[in-house]
A and B are shown apart, each in its own frame.
Chain A
Amino acid sequence: MDNADAALAQLRRGTIEFCVLALLRDEPKYGVEIARRLGDADALVTSEGTIYPLLARLRRAGLVASHLHESPQGAPRRYYELTPAGKKSLQLFVNRWRQFADAVELVLGERS
């Protein structure tokens, strides 16, 4: 792993939980749905299963809440939704991320 890969891995690890929070911004989602959505975005997760410890951690931190709901497809599904603390955390991150991303893009010369 070269320096760029290592830096991106750290960046991914630091931002993925906010991506999960963002996915839950509009409506609750269940675990498989979240994992698949993030798995579809190649750059975000390398292994879909790593989302689940993250969800457990977010729940422990009080940023998401989860509830079991009956599923027409079989076993009950655990749905996750943002808590007020999660919404606040997400909003703070979004604001700071935009500043950060703008600054990085400016310095990298992506904009003229």
Chain B
Amino acid sequence: MLSKIAMLDSAVIRALLLAVTGLIGLILSFFGVSEALFSEKAVRLVDALLLVLTTGATLYAAYARATKPTPPITDEAVAKTIQMVHKQGGFARAFMLAFVLAIATPVFLSVAGCQSLGMTAPQSYDQRVAYARGQLTGFVNATAAAVENGQLPKEDGVRVLDLAKNARAVLEAGDAAQAAGDISTAEGRLALAIGILQQLQSFTSKEGT
């Protein structure tokens, strides 16, 4: 008999809440909140601490998911877990774990402006938009390949397609705002597109683990 546990009893949920806290801090920093509150040197320190917090919490979530017991936390998950055990003999699919990692990496690079993996950090709106479009392209291509290979159900592909089209439309609206000289609106549209990319990541995580 499989029993669910309370939401906050899950180490993964606790770690993800911590990571989200760090991400919210980084997003606020992206919009200049840190600059309004702290000196330039302190802003860099705060951003670095938030990055360490987010990265550490995310890695811990992955570690907890990989090594600790992972009882379901909702009745729906109980039913699905039993169904998945019958269907595929286990709870996690290696394909989906790698898929989530593949998506998390570029999103992390986007939010953090990290130069790891040899990628050049964007320094302007145009360059950030190019990275956002590139991430979206990689994600959509990966999803298409997964559907073509039968690794992902078509209905999941349709959901990803809808979100990708939304993100593309938002980025195009940002382009129009930039062309009209409204950089503030353009930046807002870019942030929204990054939010949709994160929705795609969440959707994949939900479906894949």
The answer to whether A and B come from one shared complex is no
